[in-house]
């Protein structure tokens, strides 16, 4: 008897290449399957957490094969190939699930411009303390700023200085000015550790991460929030400023090694729900 695969595969097109991916997978994971060094940059997405869609770094262009609205017939171009109807604006890859025939562009001009704009906004109030930051060398913001940023700042207004050295609990210290409000730590505490203790207060550029009144980040998995924070905002109180990674940042192999290490940490992260 033929053993049938329990995972249904569908074909989508990523940057002109047809690939088979499991049905329902999101575009960040689909692009990883496409391989060849392709990656959709992202901060808030984590495969083990719910989708928040709040960092907006994972923008891609998305299109579907066109059909006539009246007849349902495929709309063909002059070569007899079905036309692709591209959405007028980029969409976030983490919250877009692959569907048959979907077309994705991860490197078009509009996508590059979107990432560039998101990076510029994220850096508006971010301190330039990479030389002393514990996360330097394995910081997603540092890496993606180098790869997708403008390379210079156009911000001439007064920077908004947020709180430093905020103790969230006995083991974790927050440098709020480094936080990019991705909410990974919030969702981790609520969904994995089972303790809903973190949240954001205030709005816009004044938004800050904090514990709910009367609560602290004290659960047994609190140090894992330091691991999944993509930047250096959450630090281990015992470890902070004790040791820095070596950082020959110009070396691509160093970048690759660091990124693989971060991927491994993201994937593993001792994500077993507490009893
Ligand atoms: S502290 Fe880190 S994980 Fe938490 S919201 Fe800020 S950037 Fe994200
Ligand atoms: S990873 Fe998609 S919006 Fe953050």
Q: Which atom of ligand 1 is nearest to the CA of 174?
A: 1
Give burial (CB, 10 Å; 0-12/13-18/19+) of 236.
middle
The residue whose CA is least distant from atom 4 of ligand 1 is 185
Residue 144 Cβ contacting ligand 2 at under 6 Å: no
Write down the pLDDT at residue 269: 39
- Cα(225) to ligand 1 centroid in Å equals 8
Q: Which residues contact 63 (CB under 8 A, 6 or more apart)?
A: 84, 85, 86, 87, 102, 103, 104, 105
Write down the pLDDT at residue 141: 92
Nearest one of 93, 89, 86, 83 to 55, comparing CA atoms: 93
The Cα-based distances of 213 to 196, 197, 199, 201 in angstroms read 12, 9, 10, 11
CA dihedral in degrees (53, 108, 146, 164; nearest 10)?
-20
CA dist., res. 203 & res. 183, Å (int) = 14
Write down the pLDDT at residue 257: 54
CA dist., res. 182 & res. 152, Å (int) = 23
- Cα(176) to ligand 1 centroid in Å equals 9
Q: Are 46 and 53 in contact (CB under 8 A)?
A: no
Q: Which atom of ligand 2 is nearest to the CA of 42?
A: 1
Q: Are 102 and 34 in contact (CB under 8 A)?
A: no
pLDDT tens per residue across all 275 residues of the chain? 455 557 789 999 999 999 999 998 999 999 999 887 789 999 999 999 999 999 999 999 999 999 999 998 999 989 999 999 999 999 999 999 999 999 999 999 999 999 999 999 999 988 888 888 888 888 999 999 988 888 888 888 888 889 889 999 999 999 999 999 999 999 999 999 999 999 999 998 899 999 999 999 999 999 999 999 999 999 999 988 776 555 555 555 555 655 555 554 444 333 333 33
Helix ranges restricted to H, the chain = 27-34, 109-123, 140-148, 184-187, 222-228, 252-268
Measured from the alpha carbon of residue 114, the closest ligand is 2
Structural domains in the chain plus CATH codes: 9-107 (3.10.20.740), 126-272 (3.30.70.20)
Q: Which atom of ligand 1 is nearest to the CA of 198?
A: 4
| Size of the chain in residues | 275
Torsion over CA: 31, 32, 34, 39 (sign)? positive
Write down the pLDDT at residue 270: 35
The Cα-based distances of 139 to 117, 133, 142, 144, 226 in angstroms read 19, 9, 5, 9, 12
């Amino acid at each position: 008897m033929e053993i049938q695969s329990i995972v249904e595969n569908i074909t989508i097109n990523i940057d002109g290449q047809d690939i088979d991916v499991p049905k329902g997978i999101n575009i960040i994971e689909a692009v990883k399957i496409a391989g060849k060094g392709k990656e959709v940059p992202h901060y808030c997405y984590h495969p083990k957490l719910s989708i928040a869609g709040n960092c907006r770094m994972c923008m891609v262009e998305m299109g579907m094969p066109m059909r006539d609205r009246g007849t349902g017939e495929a709309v063909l171009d002059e070569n007899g190939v079905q036309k692709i109807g591209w959405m007028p604006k980029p969409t976030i890859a983490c919250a877009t699930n692959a569907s048959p025939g979907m077309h994705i562009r991860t490197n078009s001009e509009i996508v590059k411009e979107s990432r560039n704009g998101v990076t510029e906004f994220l850096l508006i109030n971010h301190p330039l303390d990479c030389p002393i930051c514990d996360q330097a060398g394995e910081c997603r913001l540092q890496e993606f700023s180098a790869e997708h940023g403008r390379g210079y700042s156009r911000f001439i207004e007064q920077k908004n200085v947020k709180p430093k050295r905020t103790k969230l609990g006995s083991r974790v210290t927050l440098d709020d000015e480094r936080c990019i409000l991705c909410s990974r730590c919030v969702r981790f505490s609520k969904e994995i550790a089972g303790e809903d203790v973190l949240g954001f207060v205030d709005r816009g550029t004044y938004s800050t991460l904090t514990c709910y009144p009367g609560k602290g980040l004290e659960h047994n998995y609190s140090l894992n929030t330091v691991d999944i924070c993509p930047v250096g905002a959450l630090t281990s109180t015992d470890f902070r400023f004790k040791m820095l990674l070596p950082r020959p940042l110009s070396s691509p192999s160093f970048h690759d090694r660091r990124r693989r290490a971060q991927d491994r940490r993201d994937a593993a992260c001792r994500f077993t729900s507490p009893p």
